[in-house]
Amino acid sequence: MSFLELCHNSQVAAEVTVMAVDMLKVDAGIIFADILLPLQCLNAGLRFAQGDGPVIDNPIRTAADVAKLSLFDIEEGLGYVMEAIRLFVAERPLIPLIGFAGAPFTLASYLIEGGSSRNFERTKAFMYKEPQAFANLMAILTDVTISYLLAQVAAGANCLMLFDSWVEHAAPSIHFGTATGGMLDLVASAGSTVVGVDWRMDLASAWQMIGDKAVQGNLDPTVLLESKSTWGGIITTTMVDDCIVDGGPDSFITNKPGMLDLSRELKIDSRIVPVNQKKPWCIDC
């Protein structure tokens, strides 16, 4: 019996879960299944190759591939998992059971890569080249995951676990715009990890609008060109210290939000870097 056949056989999956609980004498069981099972219902052609792990024979490579996907009835497509949960609960009613699912980004990465990957080049390329198609894919997988987890709870799962194995490859983003002082609250709500602020607004005020996000800013490059060699350092130190003292963010990236010519950029950077290296809470950018 193959791994997928084990997963599809509710009786066997329940017994494997019971055996694990009894042998290990743990406080709770986790249902025997796999995070990729929902992909079978999306006609992904999931199989497990010896030595290679999961393989997707029908990967997502174009927007047209995403357009072919559609939601499915969870009980009809994955009812065998819920039945395994019900069987376990009936056999070990006093033992809590953990259900689980793969998070949308991890499922999407398997679909796009065609299996496991080391660098997720295809996933990242698809995200940037086909942003709307990727958003549609994530929406479908999100709906599937939510319905799947709710069905597990209805079947008797006492706790849920979400596996986002590859989310580390979803790089954080910095949202920066110039002269955005009047709309920083909107910028902060757009979904980025970090919000960039230019020199037209003081950091303390910006932080009040941005809320619980990392902040990047906001050294004025022209001020830092002051001829006195110590002036750039004084300005940098003052701005950073003021930000922290005035209730600034826990995560702060010192940055000059503007570019001058290369020779002057190097002059500015030579002043900023030493100052920031003395500040353990700051990273020069």
Higher pLDDT: 29 or 217? It is 29
Task: Cite the DSSP H helix spans in 31-113.
Answer: 37-40, 63-67, 74-91, 104-113
The Cα–Cα gap between 93 and 84 comes to 13
- Hey, what CATH class is 3-169 in? alpha beta
Q: Tell me: pLDDT of 139 over 60.
A: yes
Higher pLDDT: 215 or 237? It is 215
Q: Could you tell me the pLDDT band of residue 171, with boundaries at 50, 70 and 90?
A: low
Q: Could you tell me the pLDDT band of residue 224, with boundaries at 50, 70 and 90?
A: low
Contacts of 81 (CB under 8 A, 6+ apart): 7, 10, 13, 31, 33, 37, 148, 152, 155
Higher pLDDT: 216 or 61? It is 61
Higher pLDDT: 249 or 135? It is 135
Q: Tell me: pLDDT of 25 over 80.
A: yes
**Are 52 and 115 a contacting pair, CB within 8 Å?**
yes
Question: What residue segments make up the domains of the chain, in order of their start?
Answer: 3-169, 174-284
Q: Tell me: pLDDT of 78 over 70.
A: yes
Q: Could you tell me the pLDDT band of residue 226, with boundaries at 50, 70 and 90?
A: low
Pairing of the two strands 46-49 and 53-56:
antiparallel
**Does the reported pTM lie above 0.75?**
no
